Chain A
Amino acid sequence: DIQMTQSPTSLSASVGDRVTITCRASRLINNWLAWYQRKPGKAPKLLIYAASTLQSGVPSRFSGGGSGTEFTLTISGLQPEDFATYYCQQGHTYPLTFGGGTKVEIK
Chain B
Amino acid sequence: QVQLEQSGAEMKMPGSSVKVSCKASGYTLTDYYIYWMRQAPGQGLEWMGWIKTNSGGTYYAQKFQGRITLTRDTSISTVYMELNNLRYDDTAIYYCARQAISGTPNYCDPWGQGTLVTVSS
A23 contacts the other chain (CB 8 A)? no
Residues A43 and B110 in contact in the complex (CB < 8 Å), given A96-B47, A98-B47, A101-B44: yes
- Report chain B residues within 8 Å CB of A101: 44
Assembly CA distance A97 to B100 (angstroms): 16
- Chain A proximity mask over B86-121: 1 for CB below 8 Å, otherwise 0: 000000000101001100111111111110000000
Q: Are B45 and A49 in contact (CB under 8 A)?
A: no
Candidates B61, B95, B97, B110; contact of A94 at CB < 8 Å: B61
Residues A91 and B44 in contact in the complex (CB < 8 Å), given A43-B110, A43-B112: no
Main secondary structure of the interface of A (DSSP, over half): loop
Candidates A43, A49, A95; contact of B63 at CB < 8 Å: A95
A100 contacts the other chain (CB 8 A)? yes
Q: Are B105 and A55 in contact (CB under 8 A)?
A: no
A44 contacts the other chain (CB 8 A)? yes
A83 contacts the other chain (CB 8 A)? no
Q: Are A32 and B110 in contact (CB under 8 A)?
A: no
B27 contacts the other chain (CB 8 A)? no
Residues A87 and B109 in contact in the complex (CB < 8 Å), given A94-B61, A95-B62: no
Number of interface residues of B (CB under 8 A): 24
Q: Are A46 and B106 in contact (CB under 8 A)?
A: no
Residues A45 and B111 in contact in the complex (CB < 8 Å), given A94-B59, A95-B63: yes
- Chain B proximity mask over A25-53: 1 for CB below 8 Å, otherwise 0: 00000001010000000111110011000
- Report chain B residues within 8 Å CB of A100: 44
- A57: nearest residue on chain B (CB-CB)? B109
Residues A34 and B59 in contact in the complex (CB < 8 Å), given A44-B45, A46-B100, A98-B47: no
Which B residues have a C-beta under 8 Å from some C-beta of A? 35, 44-47, 59, 61-63, 95, 97, 100-101, 104-114
Can you list 12 residue pairs at the A/B interface with Cβ under 8 Å? A32-B106, A34-B107, A43-B110, A43-B114, A44-B111, A45-B110, A45-B111, A46-B110, A50-B104, A55-B109, A95-B61, A100-B44
Which A residues have a C-beta under 8 Å from some C-beta of B? 32, 34, 42-46, 49-50, 55, 87, 89, 91-92, 94-101
